[in-house]
Amino acid sequence: MSANSRLASATWSFSQRHWRFVVIAMLVLLHVAVLRGTADNWARALLLAHLGLLLIWQPFLRGEYRVSLTQAALIGLGATAVMFWISWWLLAFWVVVLAGLMGGKVFLHQARWQRRCYLVVLVYLLALLAIVILPQIAPSGAVAPEIRAAAEYGLPMLLIALALMPAEPEAPEAPQVIDFFYSIFLMLVLGTVILGSFTFMTLQRIPYLEALTKTVFLTAGTIFALGLAWSPRTGFAGLNVFFSRYLFSIGLPVEKWLYFLAELSQVEARPERFLAEGVAGLARLPWIAGAAWHAGEQQGETGARTDHAVVYESTELELTIFSRYRTSPALQWHMHLLGQLLGEFYSAKLREQSLRQASYLQAVHETGARLTHDVKNLLQSLNVLCSVAGQEDTPGLQALLRRQLPAITQRLSATLDKLHSPGDERSKLVSPLEWWESFARHYQGQNVEFTAAGPESDMQVPKALFDSVADNLVQNAIAKRAAKPEIRIRVSVLCDKGAELRVHDTGSAVPADIAAQLLRAPVRSAGGLGIGLYQAARYAEKCGYALALEENRDGVVCFALSGPAPRSDPGAAKTEA
């Protein structure tokens, strides 16, 4: 950084830390110059010094900012006007501008003492304008000598009070911001008061102070009425509601755009097609010439490009909207809102697609895990047949093989068929008696007791569910009996209002820590209990049944599968046949 830049930066930092003293010095020079009059040469020199202090205090350009030729020309023009064309009208205009700048700081600052300091400066400038400057240019603007004398010696007291106020210094890096809306509004109000006072003085031939008082009260009453109309306190909508509605519905109501996006979301499931159709719909609006978008590896463009572009960016979408006309701040905000709505719907479509993929993968996982246990149970049955076949050949063995091998082949084929439609829990419905006879034949000769009560002819149960659950429960019981041969296993079916399947064994109870998680989550167990029963319980829930550990104590362990059994439909039976 050069020496000039460092000096400018240090000067700007000093002015921000001690802005009150710079403002006080600037106002003191202005006060003395106004009292000496526009014809005095010393007044011109004081106004030049006042202009220099204003450049140090000004909140528009930082100290290290390089002034352009245009800005330098404007500063030089102001200095020339001060030197050669200074007049009371120019002084009045200058004080009005200063009052507008200070008024913008009054409405903006939240710190109590800083706001009071700027308010004192504003009061000083208004008093200087009304008592000293305007009487010099008013048609009959003479004020009493004692009033002017009070202004000459009393107004500096405000500057002394300003210096004594405990205002906290602002941080050097704090930006100096002015509310331009309030500044311009205050300048317009002051211009209305000045011109209105001169109008009353000319038309009604009244003194200056009386005209000024009338104009001030009329202006205050008008602003008060506008304030009540803007935000009434009686529960009615004010002008601010209509103004906000105008901002929200420039050219196209937002609710129409939401309705279009909602309809498009229902008919188009693919995110890329939804985005392309949405951008095309956006380009059909009357004040939009075209749009371009980029999302991941996909991109597209519709319509024509213009110099008036509004960009919306998110993690999934970059959208550029080209307007046919120059965009005002309200229209630019409105276009950004339309793009944000499209981006939110597109993000929802991406999340919907991810959920569909996750659901499919979860269905594949659950189906594969469940079918793995079905295959394991079939493999155990084949191992039993192989061990029996290793013995001598007898007519009973041949009959057993003829019964078991076709049943195992049929169940293995049904298991493989489920892999083609993961997540589809529909299965073949059979009568409980038909399933019961088939399942009992499958475990014939393995020392398992089978009892049935009340099977009805018009009741049906899902065969795949009952095969899977019964196989898991019986195989787990047989595994327990391998360690203790005295364990008895009994399988019972009760068909009354619904189908109930129970598997009892007389072995030891399931440990409490395992029983707490059994059927709810995969658990570890040396006996093989856990993931198989968890998958069986999930499968039962999807089919409308419930699998539970009904009894759990030493000597009596009972698992029960229960649920509604749908009645057979003759038309459906014919269709399936």
Q: Name the residue among 11, 38, 9 with its Cα closest to residue 22.
A: 11
For the chain, residues classed under CATH 3.30.565.10 are 427-576
> Per-residue pLDDT tens for 288-347?
888 898 888 788 888 888 888 888 888 888 888 888 877 777 677 778 888 888 888 888
> Per-residue pLDDT tens for 522-547?
766 555 445 677 778 888 888 888 88
Q: How confident is the model at residue 383 (pLDDT cuts 50, 70, 90)?
A: low
Q: Pick the most confident of 8-12, 93-97, 255-259, 515-519.
A: 93-97
- DSSP labels, 441-498: HHTTTSS-EEEEE---TTB-EEHHHHHHHHHHHHHHHHHHHHH-TT--EEEEEEESSS
Q: How confident is the model at residue 62 (pLDDT cuts 50, 70, 90)?
A: low
Contact call for residues 277 and 268 (beta carbons, < 8 A): yes
> Per-residue pLDDT tens for 122-145?
888 888 888 888 888 887 767 778
Q: Between residues 482 and 240, which one has the greater pLDDT?
A: 482
Q: How confident is the model at residue 456 (pLDDT cuts 50, 70, 90)?
A: low
Residues in the chain: 577
Q: Between residues 85 and 308, which one has the greater pLDDT?
A: 308
Distances in whole angstroms, Cα of residue 226 to Cα of each of 88, 218, 231, 238, 521? 32, 12, 9, 10, 68
pLDDT for res 218: 92
Q: Which amino acid is at 40?
A: D
Distance CA 408, CA 401 (A): 10
pLDDT for res 403: 62
CA atoms lying within 13 Å on the CB side of residue 32? 15
pLDDT of 572 > 50? The answer is: no
Distance CA 91, CA 492 (A): 108
Q: How confident is the model at residue 1 (pLDDT cuts 50, 70, 90)?
A: very low
> Per-residue pLDDT tens for 393-415?
666 656 666 666 666 676 666 66
Instruction: Tell me how crowded residue 390 is: count the other CB atoms within 10 A of its CB.
Output: 7
Task: Output the average pLDDT for the chain.
Answer: 76
Superfamily per CATH, domain 427-576: Histidine kinase-like ATPase, C-terminal domain (3.30.565.10)
> Per-residue pLDDT tens for 153-193?
888 888 888 888 776 555 444 445 566 778 888 889 998 98
> Per-residue pLDDT tens for 464-493?
788 888 888 888 888 888 788 888 888 888
Instruction: Tell me how crowded residue 473 is: count the other CB atoms within 10 A of its CB.
Output: 25
